[in-house]
Structures are given as structure tokens and as C-alpha cells.
Amino acid sequence: MGTAIVVTSGKGGTGKTSLTGGVSSCLAALGNRVLCIDMDIGLRNLDISLGMTDRALMDFTDVLEGRCALKRAAVQHPVIENLFLLTAPLTLADGSIPEGRMRAFLAQAKTEYDYILMDSPAGLGEGFRLAVCGADRGVVVSTTDTSALRDAQRVVAQLSKRLPYIHLVMNRVQPKLLRRLHTTIDDAMDAAGLPLLGVVPEDEQVMLSANCGQPIILASRKGAAVAYLNIARRLMGQKIPLMHIR
């Protein structure tokens, strides 16, 4: 039985979608069968991070409504063979989706995939509600600025009511900026109130890879690519030391 993980953040701009794509790619490269689901209805971008733009013809509502089987709707990555994408719809024609239907869908998906990573939209809207209702674990992505950490606290308050396991990823970390702000990663952990799953440095290769239409692990062996790999291994239960970012 697979594990469904919701990746979320309190505000936009934290790099949540890039992290979802990067960690998913690493999990698949490590031999796991991985399904990525873009839950950001109307503002989907996960396909860009995965290098799968315009490949997905069906979205997750096609599966939920019975118009298409999961095996047909989920599109396989052209290079990373264990990686699959199910995108979000541009709109919800019939309003909100019942949580029971989403849970049933994810229960089915967990029989076919080792990991399901759901890229939830920032904030606490419809996409967040759907992703959380069927998840087993939560990953909250934040940067070190005060507003991002405050919004992360609000998300944690909602997740803690629904999920037994929630972790924090500090993303886009810039050590020089931390020193100027006289703060540390430990301070950020205390502010969010979560155990740390990983630390990802600010890395221009994330944007470069997305613009070139390929996952970062196919283009880099340092920086964010290594951090994503470490996070993937920790999700698999391995004990990996935190990256030391200089």
C-alpha cells in the first residue's frame, strides 16, 4: 500500500511546486512508482517543474467522475519511467468535490503507486481541502521570512487536525541573508512548530531546469538537486544528515 503526501504552504512563492517535482523525481529515480497530482485548480504548474508541459490530456476530475481510468489519465514521464503526472482541471464545473470521493480515489491510487505526492495550492482553499482529506502525511514548505512562517503556522493548525505526521521543509535558504537577519533554521523550526524534513538552498538551476522543460535531477548534481534527493530518502525512512548550506 502506497503513501499519500500533501505538499503545501501558507503563501505563494515558497517554491512548493518545484520541491514537489524535485522530490517526486528523486523518489521515482530511487525505484519507487510515483504519482504526482497537481491540486492547484486553475493555476496548475507542476507539469512545468516535471518537464511534462502539454503531455497531460486528462485531469484528476476525469478520474473522480469516472470518465477515465487512472491508468489512462496518469501520464508517464518520457525519461524517468517510474514517474507519472495527473494534472488539475482549469475549473470545477460542478462546484466542490465530496471528500469521500477523493478519499476513495486516493485509496485506489495507493494500490498502484508507492508514493502519491499532491501539490496543494498555497492557502486553505478547495485544492487544499481535497488534498488533505485523503493524505497520510503532510509536508509544509516555507522560506525563512517572517510572513511565510506566520502563514505556515496557520496551515499547520489545519493540518494537525487531520494528519498524524507533518514535517517542515525550509526552502530557498540563503545563509548570508539569515546572518543579516540574525536568525537560524532552528528559529524557523520553532516558529513553524514542526520537525524538520529538509533544507533546500536557493538555487538558480531550479528555474533554469523548469524553463528548459526537464526535472532538475537530470541537469544538476548539487544544490537543490541534492537536497531533493536527501528529502526523498528521508521519506523512504533512511537516516540522512541535513545538508550544510554555506
DSSP letters spanning 163-189: -SEEEEEEEEE-HHHHHHHT--HHHHH
Binding site residues for ATP, as ranges? 11-18
Round to whole Å and give the CA distance between 131 and 241.
29
pLDDT in tens, 205-220: 988 888 888 888 898 8
In the prediction, which pLDDT does 126 show? 74
Contact 52, 68 (CB under 8 A): no
Give the integer Cα–Cα distance in Å for 140 and 125.
15
DSSP code at position 101? H
For 54-70, the pLDDT digits (tens) are 777 788 888 988 899 99
| pLDDT of 234 strictly over 90 | yes
Question: Rounded distance, CA 151 to CA 112, Å?
Answer: 34
Q: Binding site: residue ranges? A: 11-18
70-111 pLDDT per residue, tens: 999 999 999 999 999 998 887 776 667 888 888 999 999 999
Question: Which residues have CB under 8 Å from 115's CB, separation 6+?
Answer: 2, 3, 5, 24, 27, 32, 33, 34, 35, 235
Q: Give the whole-angstrom CA distance, residue 7 versus residue 19.
A: 9
Residue 182 has pLDDT above 70, yes or no: no
- What is the pLDDT at residue 64? 87
Q: What is the pTM of this model?
A: 0.90
Average pLDDT for the chain? 85
- Percent of the chain, pLDDT > 90? 39
Q: From start to end of the chain, where are the E strands?
A: 3-8, 34-38, 75-76, 83-86, 115-119, 137-142, 165-173, 196-201
Residue found under cell 501558507: 10
Residue located via cell numbers 538537486: 225
Q: Which bin fits 20, alpha (ψ -120 to 50), beta or left (φ > 0)?
A: alpha
| 112-166 confidence digits (pLDDT tens) | 999 999 998 877 777 788 888 889 999 999 888 788 888 888 888 888 888 989 9
What pLDDT does residue 95 have? Answer: 62
Domain 3-235 classified CATH 3.40.640.10? no
